């Protein structure tokens, strides 16, 4: 029987969770896997919490919605609160440890709670614009749903037009992908 990984990504509107989920779904599809991405749009675009649901598997995916994620990623304090309902005893919960004052709000029943300093790394080492790619690298490393090479191809497909104008962006995005994987590996 094949494995299906259920991923819930949540952040403030503009943090790129929808882009991350879309690129991951495309990369998984390109690898020949089943992929299902459901964006949760609403007032997020005006400053609310944006949630993306993603499932990747080796076999057809039955239901588009799920109650418990294998991995839940929260990129803001409000996202930490909003995603509690998707956390179960086997869930790996990843959050941006750059967020202050949320220790009491972190889920108690998760299998693992991993804090990674994604925003700090983006600001100090790379560029705040690649914050979401750092998160993508963390998700890939934590779940192993796709290869880093296929993620790079998917990023290239999505952002290649920007890379042509500024080739340094390609290198920065690929470095962000790698750093995200390193951060989650250190947290494990």
Q: How many domains does the chain have?
A: 1
pTM: 0.90
Position 43 pLDDT exceeds 70: no
CA distance 43 to 14: 12
First to last CA, the chain: 27
Q: What is the pLDDT of residue 44?
A: 46
Segment 47-103, tens digit of pLDDT: 678 999 999 999 999 888 899 999 999 999 999 999 999 999 999 999 999 888 888
Range of the domain at 75: 4-187
Residues 6+ apart with CB under 8 A from 171: none
E-assigned strand segments in the chain = 4-12, 34-40, 49-57, 71-74, 92-96, 112-116
Q: What is the pLDDT of residue 42?
A: 58
Query: Which CATH number belongs to the domain containing residue 177 in this structure?
Result: 3.40.920.10
Q: What is the dihedral of CA 136, 84, 75, 141, to 10 degrees?
A: -20
């Amino acid at each position: 029987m094949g494995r299906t990984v259920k991923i819930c990504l949540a952040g403030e509107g503009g943090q790129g969770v929808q882009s991350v989920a879309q690129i991951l779904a495309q990369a998984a599809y390109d690898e020949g896997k089943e992929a299902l991405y459901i964006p949760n749009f609403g007032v997020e675009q005006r400053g609310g919490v944006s949630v993306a649901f993603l499932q990747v598997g080796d076999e057809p995916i039955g239901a588009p919605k799920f109650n418990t994620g294998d991995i839940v990623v929260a990129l803001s304090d409000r996202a930490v609160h909003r995603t509690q309902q998707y956390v179960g005893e086997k869930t790996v919960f990843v959050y941006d440890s750059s967020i202050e004052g949320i220790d009491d709000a972190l889920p108690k029943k998760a299998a693992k709670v991993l804090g990674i300093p994604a925003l700090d790394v983006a600001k100090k080492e790379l560029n705040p614009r690649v914050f979401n790619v750092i998160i993508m690298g963390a998700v890939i490393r934590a779940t192993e749903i796709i290869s880093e090479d296929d993620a790079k191809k998917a990023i290239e497909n999505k952002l290649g037009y920007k890379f042509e104008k500024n080739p340094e962006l390609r290198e920065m995005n690929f470095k962000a992908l790698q750093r995200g994987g390193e951060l989650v590996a250190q947290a494990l």
